[in-house]
């Protein structure tokens, strides 16, 4: 899939969702097909997380975990591009800010979607380690999907670690 011509030479609409020194998230569109392109600058520090994120995303085929499409490595840029399914309603934090009066049943259904995604990860001994509203995405049917597996880990048994976004870490 890495050299898939479907994605390699797009003349695209491009919307930058965020841009930082280590990664950026870009939405690209061609003929009603939308993907998220995540550019990750490869450094020694984040190389293992990038490789693990790619392998986890390739392994999982689920309606409750972000869908991996393909990736492209550009050594000249020291970058890896991950192409993932686009979720049109954005992340859950923005969705809730735009829709503050969601009824209880819909909120409960969204919570169940998230829990099913986590169960699917945990059944494969994958621990997310950075679960927050910004890392949960909402599709066009208001289903929630767990995403951003950038610091996830795979373990054979229960593991305890202090890693994640400050303010969202487990105590």
Task: Give me the CATH number covering residue 72.
Answer: 1.10.510.10
Q: Which has the closest alpha carbon to 12: 40, 46, 43, 36? A: 36
Task: Report the candidate in 136, 131, 133 with the shortest Cα–Cα distance to residue 146.
Answer: 136
In a domain, 130, yes or no: yes
Q: Is the pLDDT of residue 17 over 70?
A: no
* 131 falls within a domain: yes
Give pTM, 2 decimals.
0.72
pLDDT band at residue 121 under the 50/70/90 scheme: very high
Question: 98-111 pLDDT, tens per residue?
Answer: 999 999 999 999 99
pLDDT score recorded for residue 133: 94
**Structure confidence at residue 13 (pLDDT):** 54
**Mean of all residue pLDDT scores within the chain:** 76
CA 9 to chain centre: 23
Choosing from 94, 130, 139, 142, which is the catalytic residue? Answer: 130
Task: Give the start-end residues of each E strand in the chain.
Answer: 13-19, 23-30, 33-41, 68-74, 79-85, 126-127, 136-138, 144-146, 153-154
Res. 140: pLDDT tops 50 = yes
Asked if pLDDT for residue 63 goes beyond 60, the answer is yes
CA 27 to each of CA 43, 106, 157, 165: distance values in angstroms, whole numbers, following the listed order: 24, 27, 36, 23
- pLDDT the model gives residue 9: 45
Q: What is the pLDDT of residue 11?
A: 45
The token pair that represents 128 in the structure block: 């997310």
Q: How many domains does the chain have?
A: 1
52 within a domain of the structure (yes/no)? yes
Tally of CA atoms within 13 A in the half-sphere of 5 that contains its CB: 0
pLDDT at 30: 47
In a domain, 58, yes or no: yes
Q: Is 63 a catalytic residue?
A: no
Q: Kind and range of the H or E element at 117? A: helix 104-123
- Give residue 73's domain range: 5-154
In tens, the pLDDT along 67-92 reads 888 777 777 777 777 778 888 888 99
């Amino acid at each position: 899939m890495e050299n898939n011509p479907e994605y390699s030479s797009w003349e695209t609409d491009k919307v930058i969702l965020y841009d930082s020194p280590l990664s950026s998230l870009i939405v690209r569109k061609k003929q009603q097909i939308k993907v998220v392109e995540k550019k990750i600058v490869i450094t020694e520090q984040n190389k293992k997380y990038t490789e693990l994120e790619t392998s986890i995303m390739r392994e999982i085929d689920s309606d409750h975990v972000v869908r991996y499409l393909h990736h492209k490595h550009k050594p000249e840029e020291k970058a890896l591009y991950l192409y993932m399914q686009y979720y049109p309603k954005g992340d859950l934090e923005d969705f809730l800010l735009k829709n503050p009066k969601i009824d209880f049943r819909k909120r409960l259904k969204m919570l169940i979607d998230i829990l099913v995604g986590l169960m699917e990860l945990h059944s494969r001994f994958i621990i997310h380690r950075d679960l927050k509203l910004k890392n949960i995405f909402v599709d066009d049917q208001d289903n929630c999907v767990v995403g951003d597996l950038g610091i996830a880990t795979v373990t054979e048994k229960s593991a305890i670690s202090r890693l994640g976004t400050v303010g969202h870490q487990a105590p």
